[in-house]
Amino acid sequence: MVPILSAILVMLVSIYLVLGFDKAAVLVQSSVAAGNIPNNKIVSGNKMIPQPTTPKPPNSLGQMAPILTATSSLVKDISSGALLFSKNEHEKIPVASTTKIMTALVGSEYFKSNDILEVKNLVGVSGATMGLILGERLSFRSLLYGMLLNSGNDAAYTIAHNYPGGYKSFVEAMNSKAQEFGLKNTHFDNPAGFDSVNHYSSAYDLSVIATTAAENPQIMRVVGTKEAQVGSANGAEVHNLKNLNKLLSTEGVIGFKTGFTPVAKENFVGLIERDGHRILTVVLGSDDRFGETLKLINWAYANFSWN
Residues designated catalytic: 97, 100, 151
Specify the DSSP class assigned to residue 79. T
Instruction: Identify the bridge partners of residue 261 per DSSP, sorted by sequence position.
Output: 265
75 pLDDT higher than 50: yes
Task: Say yes or no to pLDDT of 218 above 70.
Answer: yes
Give how far Cα 229 sits from Cα of 96, 119, 250, Å. Answer: 25, 18, 23
Annotated binding site: 257
**Residues 124, 119: Cα–Cα separation, whole Å:** 14
Q: Compute φ and ψ for 31, nearest 5 degrees.
A: -65, -40
Tens digits of residue pLDDT in 129-181? 999 999 999 999 999 999 999 999 999 999 999 999 999 999 999 999 999 99
Please say if the pLDDT value at position 209 is more than 50. Answer: yes
Contact 171, 160 (CB under 8 A): yes
Q: 61-305 belongs to which homologous superfamily? A: DD-peptidase/beta-lactamase superfamily (3.40.710.10)
Q: Is the pLDDT of residue 17 over 60?
A: no
Strand partners, 189: none
Does position 95 have pLDDT exceeding 60, yes or no? yes
Residue 4, pLDDT score: 52
Residue 39 in this model has a pLDDT that exceeds 70: no
Rounded to two decimals, what is the model's pTM?
0.82
Per the prediction, the chain carries an average pLDDT of 87
| Alpha-carbon gap, residue 239 to 158, rounded angstroms | 15
Q: Are 270 and 50 in contact (CB under 8 A)?
A: no
Q: Which tens digits make up the pLDDT trace of 258-298?
A: 999 999 999 999 999 999 999 999 999 999 999 999 999 99
> Nearest-5° angle of CA 134, CA 139, CA 140?
100
- Report the greatest alpha carbon distance in the chain: 104
Domain definitions of the chain by residue range: 2-50, 61-305
Looking at residue 274, its pLDDT comes to 94
Q: Over 70: is that where the pLDDT of 24 sits? A: no
Q: Which residues are annotated as a binding site for substrate?
A: 257
